[in-house]
């Protein structure tokens, strides 16, 4: 069974609560007693470290929780079986993490992801030369932004990613959920869809905030800077600067990002990908955004694929020094 270690990650003025999952077996001798490792980043809306909607800090925002483990927990367990350690944190303002989710903007969440990666590099059990990132939904955008500026990240897996701006993504998702009813049992999602055009219009006017009204009268004051930044930071533009090994996975019944988004991302990645590591696209039939319907075989395939791509990278001098202190 994998081993778990609770961590507190400093990010600016707050701490993020997370769990480091370590393989039960010792690392191979050639890896200097350290495990290859992966940072797992959650999707849109408040999420806990397992990948579920956060019902600890936001019990009135979401319907009843699913009994099964979330996507990030499933991936962490599968990667541990393959000798790979993982870190996954409750998002800012969620679970046991400090902060206020609705007050954070996109760039703050990118900084949170960078600080989680830095925390991993300070842990003596982890191999600094073999690091990957899994980004789910919004986490894919965070992963890309972090990896562009970090040459040591060797491989990435992007699940349910959007390629276009948040303006297009939200409009398409709201229309899809209007047809299917998916996720509308969650008061926050229903309100987000109902007020989507107001949110987008006010964000583009650079208004500071918007009171999102939930069923029952509760108001959630959204920081519109997060939406304005997401509108003007389309992931498709970012991937042209991403020279890494990338696999994309997408549920074909995704009601947050259309499966065509990952196909578009794959096209953008081909121009920037290493010649010996073209992007791979894995389509998961009948699965939604969180891949809850995906079989264990699919999760194991994603874990096998990522573990095989965690190849060693050259370290900059500062990380060589950290490695030597080890």
Q: Nearest-5° angle of CA 195, CA 200, CA 204? A: 150
Quote the mean pLDDT of the chain.
94
Q: Is 187 helix (H, G, I), strand (E, B) or coil?
A: helix
Lowest mean pLDDT: which of 43-57, 262-276, 299-313?
262-276
Q: Please check whether the domain covering 3-168+235-325 is classified as CATH 3.30.70.360.
A: no
Q: Residues 245-254: pLDDT tens digits? A: 999 999 999 9
Check pLDDT > 80 for residue 283: yes
Residues 6+ apart with CB under 8 A from 53: 45, 46, 47, 61, 62, 65, 186
pLDDT at 279: 94
Distance CA 85, CA 34 (A): 9
Distance CA 316, CA 306 (A): 23
pLDDT at 173: 97
Distance CA 33, CA 45 (A): 37
pLDDT at 31: 59
Q: Residues 192-222: pLDDT tens digits? A: 999 999 999 999 999 999 999 998 899 999 9
Q: Residues 70-112: pLDDT tens digits? A: 999 999 999 999 999 999 999 999 999 999 999 999 999 999 9
Domain ranges of the chain: 3-168+235-325
Alpha helices in the chain (DSSP H): 71-81, 106-121, 138-148, 166-180, 187-194, 196-204, 224-231, 235-238, 259-272, 296-308, 317-325
**Where does the pLDDT of residue 28 fall: very low under 50, low under 70, confident under 90, or very high at 90 and above?**
confident
C-alpha torsion angle, residues 123, 126, 127, 133 (rounded to 10)? -100
Higher pLDDT, 29 or 170: 170
pLDDT at 77: 98
Distance CA 204, CA 231 (A): 8
């Amino acid at each position: 069974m994998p081993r778990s270690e609770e961590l507190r990650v400093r990010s600016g003025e707050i701490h993020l609560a997370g769990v480091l999952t370590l393989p039960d077996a010792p690392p191979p001798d050639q890896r200097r007693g350290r495990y290859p490792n992966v940072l797992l980043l959650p999707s849109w809306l408040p999420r806990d470290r397992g990948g579920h909607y956060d019902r600890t800090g936001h019990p009135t925002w979401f319907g009843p929780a699913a009994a099964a483990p979330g996507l990030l927990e499933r991936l962490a367990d599968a990667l541990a079986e393959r000798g790979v350690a993982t870190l996954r944190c409750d998002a800012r303002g969620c679970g046991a993490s400090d902060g206020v989710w609705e007050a954070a903007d996109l760039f703050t969440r990118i900084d949170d992801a960078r600080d989680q990666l830095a925390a991993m590099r300070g842990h003596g059990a982890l191999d600094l030369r073999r690091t990957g990132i899994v980004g789910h939904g919004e986490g894919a955008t965070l992963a890309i932004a972090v990896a562009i500026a970090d040459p040591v990240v060797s491989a990435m897996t992007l699940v349910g990613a959007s390629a276009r701006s948040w303006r297009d993504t939200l409009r398409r998702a709201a229309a899809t959920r209007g047809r299917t009813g998916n996720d509308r049992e969650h008061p926050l999602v229903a309100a987000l869809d109902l007020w989507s055009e107001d949110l987008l219009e006010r964000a583009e006017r650079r208004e500071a905030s918007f009171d999102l009204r939930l069923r029952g009268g509760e108001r959630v004051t959204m920081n519109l800077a997060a939406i304005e930044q997401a509108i003007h930071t389309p992931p498709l533009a970012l991937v042209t600067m991403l020279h890494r090994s990338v696999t994309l996975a997408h549920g074909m019944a995704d009601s947050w990002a259309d499966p065509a988004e990952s196909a578009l991302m794959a096209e953008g990645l081909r121009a920037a990908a290493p010649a010996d590591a073209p992007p791979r696209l894995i389509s998961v039939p009948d699965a939604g955004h969180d891949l809850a319907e995906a079989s264990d075989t699919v999760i194991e395939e994603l874990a096998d694929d990522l573990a095989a791509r965690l190849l060693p990278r050259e370290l900059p001098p500062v990380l060589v020094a950290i490695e030597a202190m080890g």
